[in-house]
Amino acid sequence: MGIETRFAYESFRPGQKELAQRVYEACLDGDILIAEAMSGFGKTAAVLSGALSAAEETGCRVVYACRTKRQINRVVEETSRLQGRHPFKAAYALSKFDYCLLRRRREIPPESFGWYCTFNVSNNLCSYFLNVTLSEDFDRLVSRALLRVPRHAELLRESERAHVCPYEVARLAMAQATFAVVPYQYVFDPKAAPVLFDRNAIDRRKTILVVDEAHNMREFFRGLNSAVITLEQVKGAAREARAMLMEEAAGSISALQRTLEQVMAERQGWLIDRASVLERFRKDHGTAWLQNLAFELSASSGAAWGSIVYERKLPSLILRVGEFLSRLSSSGRSVLVKWDDAFGLVDPDPVSGLGGCLAEFRSSVLLSATVNPSSVFARSLGLEPGRAETYEASAEPLVTVRTAVDTGTSTRYKLRTPEMYAKIADRVAAVVRSTRSGVGVFAPSYSVLGALFEMVSERVSDRRLVSEAPGLSSEQAEEVFDSFRSAEDSVLFAVQGGRFSEGEDFDGGAMGSVAVVGLALPPPSPMMYAEYACLKRAGEQDSYLMLSRLPALRRAFQAAGRHVRSPGKRGLVFFFDERFGSTAARELMPSWLRRDLTVGDFTPSAIDSFSRGFWSSCG
């Protein structure tokens, strides 16, 4: 079946067919392709038609990896649409935590969940799991799910009715599907990837991999390959152990705490000689003491029985310390760093294995809306020069966006005075007042977001203002989203790089203008220093651009593109920070943001005339 027939819609938008064709060719040729397409381009549908056509011809399957649940849902929607036109076997998976029916009987923190499930399954305490091999409904559920990907709530309902674990339904469906949508973890996390590949005998060489929002991969690997523990958490773990009557473990954790406190006090600077710390444990407590303690805390069997029998809270800090010690005592190349009262184990080259990992697949397509400059993008993922092809999907005439960069404001740390906050709030309020439809305001951090929300609320009283908050559950985020959509002229405050600024769709005229406030540079940290040092040793000239500036600019550009979701869209983008006006920043902007760009001191009255001029020109 060709890419036209494979396409989920009646016709292609400009640029989509070319992208589908390029993906198709790359998949046939076994290439690694970096494909850039702006927000609202419709790249998912285009990539699906190209990748699925190539998969059919080569007898491969397609695995589509996404960073967030919302991105998975978006791809699943496209899959459903495509299944409506041509039947094919598809499946998706979220994290096991999202499926568990057993945990609904008690509150389980996500960090303890893996242990909770393993414990219940291995001790025959989960009837949903036991029923998987007994229930006749199980196979029927899997077959049905494959031919029409079910909504998550529907799968949970059906599985509850059949009294089987919905995760097992999803897992078996994935094993049989020719197209599977999964979180990054199922592809790149050595602990989770066997669930998809090894346990289902899925051969990577017969798999086409698509990675959505690939600019997030370095950050993902950084998180995957690092661990942090604070002295407060070590103390908390000792308390948990005592409460669980694990006296011996509590004593060992206290000894661990004393040693870590000494190391913290003795060592100057952020880098700690890991070998000497391990030697110290060996000298003080014996050769295998640390490994044994790590194993005991990670397995936590004493605590497990205690928490089940006495219906106590599960010991999350014990598990956390156990995980940290496992990594500390393993032979990995992580370096040990410290700051404040925290210790971190950091892989200074978090993407070192990525090139090899991608090479195991038949072909890989890395998608992003912000690839520029592609050579730095490829190097930031550890891909050697010439290893990946780059394709930029052109869709410029699709949208009309006018961009303003305000040089009169900045969120540079030293400039964050009450006067500067007031100035920014005045200007954001002017954007809101001069935009009749919805507005998105994206701040560099939650602290700036909170202050800005309060100050703009004082200035704009006749509009619905809603704000993201740290640590929102999916349900709470949905409420914020619904509240924003409940009025046509609402204002959404969110952070750059957060759940509302990437992968969220603001269809139609839901958002007419976007105000991007400040540059979200990652705060300097020993974790970053370790990566900088590693890149410097490797002779990388663009390490600051790669690790700090580019990720911050990408977050800003992604946020700026939130309102551009479909062809013909018109909108305004304001960047409130003089740093966006530099030549280097402008060169890195996607072309649709650069095409109609004005740089200047945008006072509230200048914003008003700029906005009104634009909207009146739109008719």
Query: By the criterion CB under 6 A, which residues form the site for ligand SF4?
Result: 96, 99-103, 117, 120-121, 126, 128-129, 165, 167
Sign, CA dihedral 545-571-568-438, equals positive
Report the run of H or E that residue 574 belongs to, with start and end.
strand 570-576
Contacts (Cβ under 8 Å, ≥6 apart) of 572: 401, 402, 403, 404, 431, 435, 512, 513, 514, 610, 611, 614
Calpha distance 61→89 (Å, rounded): 10
Task: Name the residue nearer to ligand SF4 (CB basis): 115 or 493.
Answer: 115
Q: Which is nearer to ligand SF4, 128 or 324 (CB)?
A: 128
> Which DSSP letter does residue 183 get?
E
3-state secondary structure of 541: coil
* Cβ 181 vs Cβ 64: under 8 Å: yes
Q: How far is the CB of 126 from ligand SF4 (least distance, A)?
A: 3
Say what the alpha-carbon torsion angle 211, 215, 219, 224 is, to the nearest 10 degrees. Answer: 10
Tokens of 377: 């993008």
- Which of 176, 177, 178, 175 lies closest to 196, judged by CA? 175
**At 70, which helix (H) or strand (E)?**
helix 69-85
563: DSSP letter:
G
First CA to last CA distance, the chain:
43
C-beta atoms surrounding 538 within 10 Å:
11
Rg (alpha carbons) of the chain, rounded to whole number: 26
In the complex with ligand SF4, the residue whose CB is nearer, 124 or 605, is 124
Residues 6 or more apart whose CB falls under 8 angstroms from that of 520 comprise: 444, 445, 495, 496, 497, 552, 555, 556
Q: Tell the smallest beta-carbon distance from residue 100 to ligand SF4 (Å).
A: 3
Length of the chain in terms of residues written: 619
Q: Which is nearer to ligand SF4, 169 or 367 (CB)?
A: 169
Could you tell me the smallest distance in angstroms from the CB atom of residue 132 to ligand SF4? Answer: 8
In the complex with ligand SF4, the residue whose CB is nearer, 82 or 132, is 132
| CA–CA dist 150, 91 (Å, integer) | 9
Q: State the angle between helix axes of 152-162 and 166-176 in degrees (0 to 180), rounded to the nearest 10.
A: 110
Instruction: Return d(Cα 500, Cα 442) in angstroms, integer.
Output: 9
d(CA 172, CA 167): 9
